[in-house]
Structure 1
Amino acid sequence: MKRITFITKSIFILAILFFIPVLLMAQKANWQNLDLHKDGVFGISAEKAYDELLKGKTGVKVKVAVLDSGVDIDHEDLSAVIWKNPSEEKNGKDDDGNGYVDDVYGWNFLGSSIGNVNYDNLELTRLVRCYDEKFGGRDSAEIKISEQKDYEIYKDLKNKLTDKKLDTFKELVSIGAVKNTLDSLVEIIGKDNPRSKDFKRLKLNDFSQEYLVSFLIHELKKEPYSSLYYNMFGETMRYYKEQLQYHLNEQFNSRDTVGDNYKNVEERIYGNSDVVGPDALHGTHVAGIIAATRNNKKGINGVADNVEIISVRCVPNGDERDKDVANSIRYAVDKGAKIINMSFGKSYSTNKKAVDEAVKYAMSKDVLLVHAAGNDNKNLEQEANFPNRLYESGGSAVAWLEVGASSWKADSTLKAPFSNYGKTKVDVFAPGAAINSTVPGSKYQVQSGTSMAAPVVSGAAAILRSYYPNLTAVQVKEVIMKSAIPFNGEVVVDNGEKIRFSDLSVSGGIVNIYEALKLASTY
């Protein structure tokens, strides 16, 4: 019975990962830019805004920093919008005197002269490793009274890490079980690349096989078995293996590649000029949503049309480090970014003060920070998520937008099933389910996440700062919030539970650049 439970759960995971994005993609391309009433999908009405409100108008260039995994600066749909440092040449010298040699297109805080970081731990793993140095191998009887509080924290974190490892291993075993089930069915069929009709002829033994075959019959109408098989098992099993090998492994530490003094959060000058890095898929996708060249008959249309993308690499495959995030924010601000997109987050923070100080610096320079709320379907009123706008010392960043992800339909599915939410912690929602955008190698791919919703908002903010350049960062946030389109119905949150969409965020609505531009004209 246990094995069937695992198999059924794994098929559900596969369906969420692959079936839903394909189904949504069957709707209209660039749906995030479309209009609910005109096009039938709950986009942000960008195309309507260009056609009706911005036609014949000229905006100013706006620099948007993408703090992420890296950006493919040579992509066919991005190369024209990549920022180039006018004061720096690729010559091995620090021409502009800022300490960063050859920062022509931005900077990489995840590398050095010896290479680049790809994988890293979760912050939870790093915390356990840190506490292990103090408490590892010690019996509880040896713990002093003055150490007791830290020891209890250590035990709690250690237990959470152990649970995560166990859950991840179970998921890997579950996916493997589904793979074995499918392999046995294909062996019965006797073909290397079976089709839907071949699975329809099978005599099935149990519910899990029926569910799997039903899923396959539907998906094989859209893509061949070979690619579906790879997506289902190659990518998914790799994800869980990476979790165990890198993210949750206390013995793995990639920081030697950077060569900085990680404990010195005041250290600013480290890294290298490689803004692409070893895996720029996520950052390239984010950049494309914001600013892929519009109407060039290639790929997609980004939200904004007058943008220069500054690539700042600080997000590995794993949790970003606070020191890198803080330095990335400062770098972006100093290079003139008026909007900073941060499509990353984590459950723990070890140097929040350093990030807070960088955020305060951004606030002092009239920069808008746009942050993804996270993909755990959690209520952020009850769950921690970092970075956030709340300062450790009190107060908060006034020009910070926390973004949840929405789907395309104005019904109970409007909240994307993975999106975090929070009545006071999330500001607004934006399209984030099955968004087609740029990926390395001048290719395009559908991705889902609040990571996709945040750049939709960054793009909208860039339009406002382009066509109404006198607006402050705080005013841009205010305009976006006030002009969000409300949805008064209930949406599914978890296990079938429904709550009003208006209770998921401060604004209770979906970003709409058409209405935002109309409101901005009154300021």
Structure 2
Amino acid sequence: MNATPAILLSLICFSVLGQAPQLAERPRNWHLLDIQEDGVRGAGVEKTYRLLLKDKKPTKKVIVAIIDSGVDTLHPDLKSIVWENKKEIAGNGKDDDRNGYPDDVRGWNFVGNTQAGTFEVVREYIRLRKEFEGERDSTLLTKKKGYAYWKKIKDGKDKFYAEYTEMTTRFSNRIADYREILEYYKNTTGKDTVDYQLLVEYPVPDTATATLRANYQESLELFAQPDLAGVSLNERLSLFENLSSTLGPTLAVADTLIAKNDVTYYSARENITAPEVNSGRNYGNNNILPKDDHGTACAGIVAAGRNNGVGMDGVANHVQIMPVRIFISANEDEIDKDVAHAIEYAVDNGAKVINMSFGKFFSPQKNLVDKAVAYAETKGVLIVSAAGNESTNVDSLHFFPTAHYLSGKRASNLINVGATASDSGLVAYYSNYGKNNVDIFAPGSDIYTTARDTTYLTESGTSFAAPVVSGIAALIWSYYPSLTYKQVKSCIESSATPLAVTVKKPGTEQLVPFSSLSRTGGVVDAFKAVEFAQKIVRKGGTADISNPK
């Protein structure tokens, strides 16, 4: 499952139902701040500019590819930093630079005008069902080659339907509850907005229905949560309605694809082949404008204009953002061949850093992704990926993309990032973790960033921790362009000093050392990373900064 759907579901459920961790008051730009100077464990970005880079100027613009759902290139905080393919003549319908992508002036869209997407488990179910569902003899079925994988897919598909159906029911009930109490207060007080003060001044009488009294009591308890004290019941209703509006269409798309027995049904007009059919890399179109906020949010975290008096500040100040679109919205899974071709496109067009804030538990064409990651490795390109938001140990249950190739070797150019929060709990309760497969943690909860149509939003997830690391990589390269990708990666990982604190293992109440949740055992620190970079440069690129393991 893609990063955002899982975390969106959990955050709305936790926040609105009053189960979220209690957070202290935090600055809007907390992810850029420093624990020693600002009292919040951000990434130390502002301290880096203030103390290490004050009298220095960046010497090279670094291209960061955002492989995602697209980027709003007209956003006032982004429009000046979007990559432009100067070898291409806009609007003439020709492939002027002969790279296979006509009019790719500001990136490429590998989904074209595809109308809808779904999750990998649904696509794989459709691909395999004819072979396995047609076998009525259970003994022969279990002996079929690939049966164990089919069983995982079938179970995964059933789990997907069960979870989405349960959530649909839960949210429908919650919406009905909120509407009832809002209607009651409108009729009895004439007030359209219900907040804590109104509940206290006008308590629901004992003569009211049991449901209304229960809703009233629960609403009072919600206001006792520090996070939710200022959130009216109207706003909570809106949250549930917005989320509920995505559940039905998600199930409907899966239903249609299964009924049609055709994973290409929504992209048939685009002449895009099935995921397992690799018919070449030249497909899609140049429309990189998004239909959701995910890619735009990631781009803002990396490089929104700094000190321009607009909105928020990105991590890096001398960057070009290259949008490469591989899914329609975050409520679906990426297709492996699209990921592979997107990486190749980014590398071939000059990206030095690739941000990939997506992931899933099944990767049937992983060989294609491995080949693309290895290609990026040969070209010295660093890839930063999100660890995922399922509170899962990804050493035990693989989450893709991963640095481990099918060959058994490990990519040296991929950094996998878990998420931290600004509260005393440190690790985000939703973040995936793993001593072998998660490399580092970075701020990922409650990140204020850019959204479509000149707006801003606050987002949470490892999707938003990864671009913090991508931004730091770009920051280092823009000031010290002579460094290799291995040196930049080493600076980032070596800066993450293992923290000797105990935290709740994500998704549980079990206390574990924070250092046990990733390879480095720490949180990214831009200040130390730049210090390491300066040390390497001073010593002519020979400083011994080991890659922690």
TM over 0.5: yes
**CA apart distance, 1:239:** 3.2
The aligned residue for residue 454 of structure 1 is 466
Q: Does residue 1:271 correspond to 2:287, yes or no?
A: no
Q: Deviations over 1:176-203 (max 9, x none)?
A: 2222222332333224433323323125
Q: Give the number of equivalent residue pairs.
A: 505
Name the amino acid aligned to 1:107: W
Relative distance call for 1:474 and 1:118 in structure 2 (3 A) is: farther
What letter matches 2:150 in structure 1? Y
Moved more, 498-507 or 18-27: 18-27
Using the TM superposition, name which of 136-145 and 148-157 deviates more. Answer: 136-145
Q: Give the Cα separation in 2 of the matches to 1:156 and 1:178.
A: 32
Q: 1:5: which partner in 2? A: none
Structure 1 match to 2:70: 70
Amino acid at match of 2:79: S
Q: For the Cα contact (< 8 Å) 1:24–1:434, is it kept in 2?
A: no
Distance in 1, matches of 2:470 and 2:10, equals 35
Offset at residue 47 of structure 1 (A): 0.7
Cα 1:387–1:20 change in 2 (3 A) is same
> Matches of 1:22 and 1:498 in 2, distance apart?
15
- Going from structure 1 to structure 2, the CA distance change for 1:21 and 1:257 (only over 3 Å counts) comes to farther
User: What SS does structure 1 have at the residue aligned with 2:384?
Assistant: strand
What letter matches 1:466 in structure 2?
S
1:212 Cα offset (Å): 3.6
The residue aligned with 2:363 is 349
The answer as to 2:392 corresponding to 1:378 is yes
CA contact (8 A) 2:222 2:229 kept: no
Asked if the contact 2:175/2:241 (under 8 Å) is kept, the reply is no
Specify the alignment match of 1:310 in structure 2.
322
Compared CA separation, residues 304 and 17, structure 1 to 2 (3 A): farther
Q: Compare 128-137 and 246-255 and name the one that shifted more.
A: 246-255
Kindly report the root-mean-square deviation, in angstroms, between the aligned alpha carbons of the 2 structures: 2.4
Cα pair distance change 1:153/1:14, threshold 3 Å = closer
- Report the CA distance between 1:350 and its aligned residue: 1.1
Between 468-477 and 218-227, the greater mean CA deviation after superposition: 218-227
- Is this contact kept in 1: 2:223–2:230, CA < 8 A? no
How far is 1:101 from its partner? 0.5
Q: What corresponds to 1:47 in structure 2?
A: 46
Structure 1 equivalent of residue 106 of structure 2: 105
Matched, 1:31 2:30: yes
**Which amino acid counterpart does residue 153 of structure 2 have in structure 1?**
L
Look up the SS of the partner of 2:177 in the other structure. Answer: helix
Q: Against the structure 1 CA distance between its residues 87 and 407, is the aligned structure 2 distance closer, same or farther, given a 3 Å change threshold?
A: same
The answer to whether the aligner puts 1:419 opposite 2:431 as a matched pair is yes
Equivalent residue, structure 2, for 1:131: 128
CA contact (8 A) 1:25 1:434 kept: no
State the SS of the aligned residue for 2:418. Answer: strand
**3-state secondary structure, aligned to 1:477:** helix
Q: Structure 2 counterpart of 1:443, which letter?
A: T
- Identify which range, 450-459 or 485-494, moves more after superposition: 485-494
Deviation at 1:141, TM superposition (A): 5.5
Bigger drift between 337-346 and 159-168 goes to 159-168
Q: Whole-Å Cα distance in 2 between the matches of residues 103 and 124 of structure 1?
A: 32
Counterpart of 1:140, as a letter, is D
Alpha carbons of 1:152 and 1:509: their partners in 2 closer, same or farther (altered >3 Å)? closer
> Contact between 2:306 and 2:312, CA under 8 Å: does it hold in 1?
yes
Aligned to 1:442: 454
Q: Distance in 1 between matches of 2:397 and 2:462?
A: 16
Checking the alignment, whether the CA contact within 8 Å between 2:450 and 2:456 is kept in structure 1 is yes
Distance in 2 between the 1:225 and 1:140 partners?
55
Alignment correspondent of 2:156: 160
Which residue number corresponds to residue 256 of structure 1? 268
1:257 and 1:341 map into 2 onto residues whose CA distance is 29
Distance 1:77 1:50 in 2: 19
User: For residues 8-60 of structure 1, what are the alpha-carbon distances to aligned partners after superposition, in whole Å with 9 as ceiling and x for unaligned?
Assistant: xx999533369799975951011111111111110111111111111121111
1:408 is aligned to 422
Q: What does residue 6 of structure 2 align with?
A: none
SS of the equivalent of 2:448 reads strand
Structure 1 residues 482 and 236: alpha-carbon distance in aligned structure 2, compared to 1, 3 A threshold: same
Distance 2:13 2:66 in 1: 30
- Shift of residue 473 of structure 1? 0.8
CA separation of 1:86/1:13 partners in 2, compared to 1, >3 Å: closer, same or farther? Answer: closer
Task: Report the Cα distance in structure 2 between the residues aligned to 1:332 and 1:107, rounded to whole angstroms.
Answer: 9
For the 8 Å contact 1:109–1:272, the answer to whether it is kept is: yes
Quote the residue 2:498 is aligned against.
486
SS of match in other structure, 2:417: strand
Supply the distance in 2 between the matched residues of 1:71 and 1:321 (Cα, whole angstroms).
19
Partner of 1:3: none
- AA aligned to 1:105 is R
Give the distance between the partners of 2:232 and 2:493, measured in 1 at CA: 44
Structure 1 residues 170 and 251: alpha-carbon distance in aligned structure 2, compared to 1, 3 A threshold = same
2:238 is the counterpart of 1:230: yes
Q: Is the 8 A contact 1:22 1:434 kept in 2?
A: no
Q: Return the offset for 1:224.
A: 5.0
Shift of 1:133: 2.6
- Judging changes above 3 Å, is the alpha-carbon distance between structure 1 residues 472 and 496 closer, same or farther for their aligned structure 2 residues? same
One-letter code of the match for 2:31?
Answer: Q
Cα distance between partner residues in 1 of 2:456 and 2:21 = 14
Per the TM alignment, residue 168 of structure 1 is displaced from its structure 2 partner at its CA by: 1.7
Q: 1:177: which partner in 2?
A: 173
Which amino acid counterpart does residue 326 of structure 1 have in structure 2?
A
SS of alignment partner, residue 129 of structure 1: helix
CA contact (8 A) 1:143 1:151 kept: no
Match of 2:518 among 486, 505, 509: 505
Provide the residue aligned with 2:533 in structure 1. Answer: 520
The verdict on how the C-alpha distance between 1:521 and 1:68 changes in structure 2, with shifts beyond 3 A counting, is: same
**Could you say which residue in structure 1 is the equivalent of 2:379?**
365
1:387 maps to amino acid: P
**Cα deviation 1:219-258 (Å, max 9, x = unaligned):** 7853554443211x21221233233223576337423243
Measured at CA, do residues 310 and 208 of structure 1 come closer, stay the same or move farther in structure 2, by a change above 3 Å? same
Q: Please list the CA deviations of residues 141-197 of structure 1 after superposition, one character each: whole Å capped at 9, or x if unmatched.
A: 59478x623344324422331132122211211122222222332333224433323
**What SS does the corresponding residue of 1:125 show, helix, strand or coil?**
helix
1:37–1:118 distance in 2 versus 1, CA, 3 Å: farther
Unaligned runs of 5+ in 2: 1-8, 537-549
Relative to 1, partners in 2 of residues 1:164 and 1:11: Cα closer, same or farther, differing over 3 Å? closer
Sort the Cα spacing of 1:11 and 1:32 in 2 relative to 1 into closer, same or farther, 3 A.
closer
Identity %: 37
1:148 and 2:160 are equivalent in the alignment: no
AA of the residue aligned to 1:236: L
Partner of 1:56: 55
Higher mean displacement: 281-290 or 148-157: 148-157
Gaps of 5+ in 1: 1-9
TM-score using structure 1 length: 0.91
| Alpha-carbon distance between aligned partners in 2 of 1:416 and 1:151, rounded to the nearest angstrom | 36
Over 3 Å counting, the alpha-carbon distance change for 1:88 and 1:195 in structure 2 is: same
* TM-score normalised over the length of structure 2: 0.87
For residues 124-146 of structure 1, give each alpha carbon's deviation from its aligned partner in whole angstroms, at most 9, with x where no partner exists. 1111101113233431259478x
Quick one: distance in 2 between partners of 1:183 and 1:364? 58
Measured against aligned partners, the alpha-carbon deviations of 1:398-442 in whole angstroms (never above 9, x if no partner) come to: 011000000113x3x100111000011100000000000000111
Offset of 1:99 from its aligned partner?
A: 1.1
Contact (CA 8 Å) 1:119, 1:246: kept in 2 or not?
yes
1:283 equivalenced with 2:295 (yes/no): yes
Report the alpha carbon displacement of residue 265 of structure 1 after superposing the two structures with TM.
Answer: 2.0
CA contact (8 A) 1:63 1:337 kept: yes
Answer yes or no: is the 8 Å Cα contact 2:118–2:333 preserved in 1: yes
